[in-house]
Amino acid sequence: MQKRFGVFMGVVKSLTGSGWVMGTVSEKRADQTVTVSSSTEFENRKGETIVQSDILIGHRVRVKGLWDREANTVTEVSQVKDFNLPVVSATPTATPTP
């Protein structure tokens, strides 16, 4: 059997219509094509709900799903966690007037 459920960490290399291509932390594995569905749950590093479009190239993600070793795919993805830091917007500061 070449398929198994697992948890995979990696960096998003490119986006596709139904997911993305992810480089894994293991150099022994090739890039994995991740396919998500409407039932996939997305969350950020704080555990807050996000959407698929929040996942961008360069983001470090954890994916839970069915890995096919021969096809280098992860399907039936139940959860994606984005570990990138959220973008912090600059907060205006008061400038003292002389």
Residue of 84 and 88 predicted with greater confidence: 84
User: Reduced to 3 states, what is the DSSP secondary structure of residue 54?
Assistant: helix
- In this prediction, residue 22 carries a pLDDT of 96
Q: Quick check: is 42 in a domain?
A: yes
- Give me the domain span that covers residue 73: 3-82
Tens digit of each residue's pLDDT (9 = 90 or more) over 74-84: 999 999 999 99
Q: Quick check: is 60 in a domain?
A: yes
Tens digit of each residue's pLDDT (9 = 90 or more) over 28-38: 778 999 999 99
- Indicate the Cα dihedral angle 58, 53, 10, 90, nearest 10°: 50
Q: Quick check: is 68 in a domain?
A: yes
* Pairing mode of beta strands 3-16, 32-35: unpaired
Give bridge partners of residue 22 from the DSSP assignment.
12, 32
Q: Quick check: is 92 in a domain?
A: no
CATH code for the domain of 8? 2.40.50
Q: Quick check: is 38 in a domain?
A: yes
Residue 41 near residue 64, CB atoms below 8 Å:
no
Cα 56 from Cα 54, distance rounded (Å): 6
Q: Quick check: is 94 in a domain?
A: no
Q: Quick check: is 98 in a domain?
A: no
